[in-house]
Amino acid sequence: MNEQMVNPRDELVMKLLHYFITEEGYNPIIIHGSKNEIWLEKFDAPYRIIRIMTGHIHNKEQLEFDLYKTHTIMSKIKRKTFTFKLNLLAIFIDLEEDVTLNKVGEIDCININNEYDLFKDEKIKRVFPKMPKKVKFVEEGLQLFAKITKDINEKSKKEALKAENLFKIKKPYLTYFLMGINILIFLLMYIYGKGSEDLYTLLKFGALQADLVKHGHYFRLLSSAFIHIGIFHLAFNMYALNILGTQLENLYGKYKFLMVYLFSALTGSLMSMAFNPTSISAGASGAIFGLLGSLLYFGYHYRVYLGNALTNSIIPIIILNLFLSFMIPGIDQFAHLGGLAGGVLMSMAVGIDSKTKKIDQINGIILSFLTLLFLIYIAFIYVH
């Protein structure tokens, strides 16, 4: 049986895809309406976008139109992913010899006619030094296609398995446990006190009051996050905790989720002490705003896939709740702001599996520690 001939350009494209997906960890992007081009993304790489143009470019005018279209798609990706800078490497496979390529804004352009061009291109040698050797295969023709397809499918299966493990529904036992503590304390305030709206009972069970904390009642910085004033206050916060906690415990895991929750409660209490030093405050709102901040951090790292959810759901909910915090009397808006900041910082410190780099986690730990020291200074020393 005769070996079927394979188009050399198709073979080169397959080799490049194999390298970027299996070696560099890029993921394909579906661009509706695009033809003869392949888009790949990896937002923590020197080139966040790789675009492989397989169509023939006849002349300068066609190249200019192609780059204009690329800029338009890049602008859409920027808006969707909240990205200000988006370095893109455009690889042209079929370019007329008299057409000159130049860098255009954030787009670097290179012409690769065959795998030997990879050894000569300075951008490739600088950013992807392993590529020239990695695109060499022993297999040829259909055997090469079969191997490359198999490798890419195996890589895709691994990524799909990671995503499945991340997003699959698990029982949020810790969320239910936290809700149970809040409800139990609420009931105990009626059994062993005069109810959840009595000031003495609130203080007895651990509500936040700046002078008491400064005189050694440090436990109030966290205990106040488990106390609520009135049934509606409890019902609203438990509803929010059930919705957000179920999602974030699932996404981060129990221990990371608990660290985010408690740290947000702590930063919310310290912020409240600093800017509402004379008030008595209680409630899980600071911790819940921390969960909103944590969801925002997660959504940002998965913004290629959750861009619409970020713009249509997560960010509007945060803005609306902050707006209501400042507009409705009796709400401790500073606890909300402190919790929100604490949630983002601790999420950065604990990290997202397979997304957050070690250096980002270290920066998150440092920023969380410095923020905590700053709030302690403001709450205990600066404010008298």
* Selection from 288, 298, 309 nearest residue 352 by Cα: 298
Instruction: Please give the angle made by the CA atoms of 174, 189 and 336, to the nearest 5 degrees.
Output: 55
Which of 233, 301, 336, 368 is catalytic? The answer is 336
Residues 174 and 306 in one domain: yes
Domain range enclosing 131 = 8-166
What does DSSP assign to residue 107? E
Which of 285, 294, 325, 368 is catalytic? The answer is 285
Whether 104 is covered by a domain: the verdict is: yes
285 is catalytic: yes
Extract the runs of DSSP E, i.e. beta strands, from 63-151.
Answer: 88-95, 107-111
Strand (E) or helix (H) holding 49: strand 49-57
325 is catalytic: no
pLDDT by position in tens, the chain (length 384) = 445 556 788 888 888 999 999 889 888 887 776 778 999 988 788 899 999 998 899 999 999 999 999 999 888 888 777 778 889 999 999 888 888 888 888 999 999 988 888 888 888 889 998 888 888 888 877 788 888 888 888 887 877 777 667 667 778 999 999 999 999 999 999 999 999 999 999 999 999 999 999 999 999 999 999 999 999 999 989 999 998 999 899 889 999 999 999 999 999 999 999 988 888 899 999 999 999 999 888 887 777 666 555 565 666 777 777 776 666 666 788 999 999 999 999 999 999 877 778 888 999 999 999 999 999 999 998 865
Q: Specify whether the CB–CB gap between 272 and 342 falls below 8 A.
A: no
Residues 102 and 54 in one domain: yes
User: Per the structure, how many domains does the chain have?
Assistant: 2
Residue with tokens 């966290």: 222
Residue with tokens 């012409």: 111
Whether 263 is covered by a domain: the verdict is: yes
Whether 306 is covered by a domain: the verdict is: yes
CA dist list (Å): 47 to 23, 106, 129, 130, 359: 14, 10, 14, 15, 19
Whether 1 is covered by a domain: the verdict is: no
Whether 375 is covered by a domain: the verdict is: yes
What is the Cα–Cα distance from 366 to 334, expressed in whole angstroms? Answer: 22
Q: Specify whether the CB–CB gap between 282 and 332 falls below 8 A.
A: no
pLDDT digits (tens, 9 = 90+) for 114-162: 888 888 888 888 999 888 888 888 887 778 888 888 888 888 787 777 7
Residues 333 and 204 in one domain: yes
Task: Residue 217: give its domain's CATH number.
Answer: 1.20.1540.10
Residues 135 and 191 in one domain: no
Tell me if residue 50 falls in helix, strand or coil. strand
